[in-house]
């Protein structure tokens, strides 16, 4: 018998907190977090087409669907995705959403949650954000007063600024989200699997709401607490 996979899709403008919430969901439900941005940033550092990929990403545009879809298919086939997974940054347009659906089959279930926030509030957050290229954790802290590069609290990696966290590129990414990813809201609402949460609240409050939605809509057995 096929096992049910619970698929949580996090939508939201750049900086809305998808990565942070995906990480909390991973810890709470012990299902992997799949961030296409993290996967693509790794690919943009080495391998075939790395330079083109880096150029596309640094300009704030979307990379071609076939590149992203291939990366997602490879990732969701791994054994740790057997009970489900959280998608952070995928799908980003209708064609990716349809592709994802073609890879799922009953009894799999989808829940799409948009973390809502105003772009102007997010701009500052993104401009002051650093991230760990090793594990993808993001921080709103800059280097310390002496300009010393900080280390990631999760894995010790050296924190960096993302090349696309520049005001002009951020504005392009906001527009991309509104125009290209926005239509996914109607797509998921039409199948009754769409919810929104306010992103302008403390992280744990946003998470409480998301956790409740996941518990109501999906059937992820609670991991045993140690
Ligand atoms: P993110 O880390 O989600 O902000 O993504 C960073 C960049 O990676 C985006 O601006 C795109 O260039 C690329 N990217 C990430 N996910 C996707 C996707 N699902 N489709 C196309 N491009 C993507």
Return the structure tokens found at 119: 């772009």
Tens-digit pLDDT profile for residues 128-168: 999 999 998 998 865 555 556 789 999 999 999 999 999 99
pLDDT, tens digit, for every residue of 28-85?
999 999 999 999 999 998 877 899 999 999 999 999 999 999 999 999 999 999 999 9
Any atom of ligand 1 within 6 Å of the Cβ of 201: no
Test site for ligand 1: of 19, 22, 37, most ligand atoms within 8 A of the Cβ: 37
* pLDDT surpassing 70 at residue 7: yes
Structure tokens at 199: 């992103």
- Residue 223 pLDDT more than 70? no
Q: How many angstroms is it from 15 CA to the middle of ligand 1? A: 12
174 ligand 1 Cβ < 6 A: no
**Residue 225 CA to ligand 1 centre (angstroms):** 34
Ligand 1 neighbour 89 (Cβ under 6 A): yes
- Measured CA distances, 124 to 87, 88, 176, 178 (Å): 25, 21, 18, 18
Q: pLDDT value at position 31? A: 95
DSSP 60: T
Beta bridge partners of 114: 11, 196
Question: What letters, b where the CB count within 10 A reaches 16 and e where it falls short, cover 135-148?
Answer: ebbbeeeeeeeeee
Long-range contacts of 39-47 (CB under 8 A, 24+ apart): 39/71, 39/75, 40/67, 40/68, 40/71, 41/133, 41/162, 43/67, 43/71
101 φ/ψ angles, rounded to the nearest 5 degrees: -60, -35
Average pLDDT over residues 174-180: 96
Catalytic residues: 18, 92, 129, 162, 173
Can you tell me the distance from the alpha carbon of 174 to that of 120, in angstroms, rounded to the nearest whole number?
Answer: 10
Share of the chain above pLDDT 90, in %: 81
pTM, 2 dp:
0.92
* Separation between Cα atoms, residue 160 and residue 133, nearest integer Å: 7
The single residue listed with the structure tokens 């993290």 is 38
| Distance from Cα 57 to the centre of ligand 1, integer Å | 7
Mean pLDDT for 180-191 is 95
CA 60 to ligand 1 center in whole angstroms: 8
Phi, psi of 144 (to 5 degrees): -70, 175
Reported as a pLDDT band with limits 50, 70 and 90, residue 171 is: very high
């Amino acid at each position: 018998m096929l096992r049910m996979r619970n698929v949580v899709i996090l939508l939201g403008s750049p900086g809305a907190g998808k990565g942070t919430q995906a990480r909390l969901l991973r810890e709470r439900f012990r299902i992997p977090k799949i961030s296409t941005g993290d996967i693509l940033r790794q690919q943009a550092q080495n391998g075939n087409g790395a330079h083109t990929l880096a150029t596309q990403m640094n300009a704030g545009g979307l990379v071609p669907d076939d590149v992203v879809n291939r990366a997602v298919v490879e990732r969701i086939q791994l054994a740790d995705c057997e009970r489900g997974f959280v998608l952070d940054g995928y799908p980003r347009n209708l064609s990716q959403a349809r592709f994802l659906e073609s890879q799922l089959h009953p009894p799999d279930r989808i829940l799409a949650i948009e973390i809502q926030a105003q772009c102007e509030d997010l701009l500052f957050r993104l401009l002051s954000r650093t991230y760990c290229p090793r594990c993808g954790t993001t921080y709103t802290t800059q280097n310390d007063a002496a300009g010393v590069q900080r280390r990631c609290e999760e894995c010790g990696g050296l924190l960096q600024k993302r090349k696309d966290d520049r005001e002009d590129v951020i504005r392009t990414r906001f527009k991309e989200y509104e125009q290209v990813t926005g239509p996914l809201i109607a797509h998921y609402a039409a199948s009754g699997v769409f919810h929104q949460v306010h992103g302008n609240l403390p992280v744990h409050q946003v998470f409480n709401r998301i956790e409740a939605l996941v518990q109501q809509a999906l059937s992820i057995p609670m991991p045993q607490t140690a």
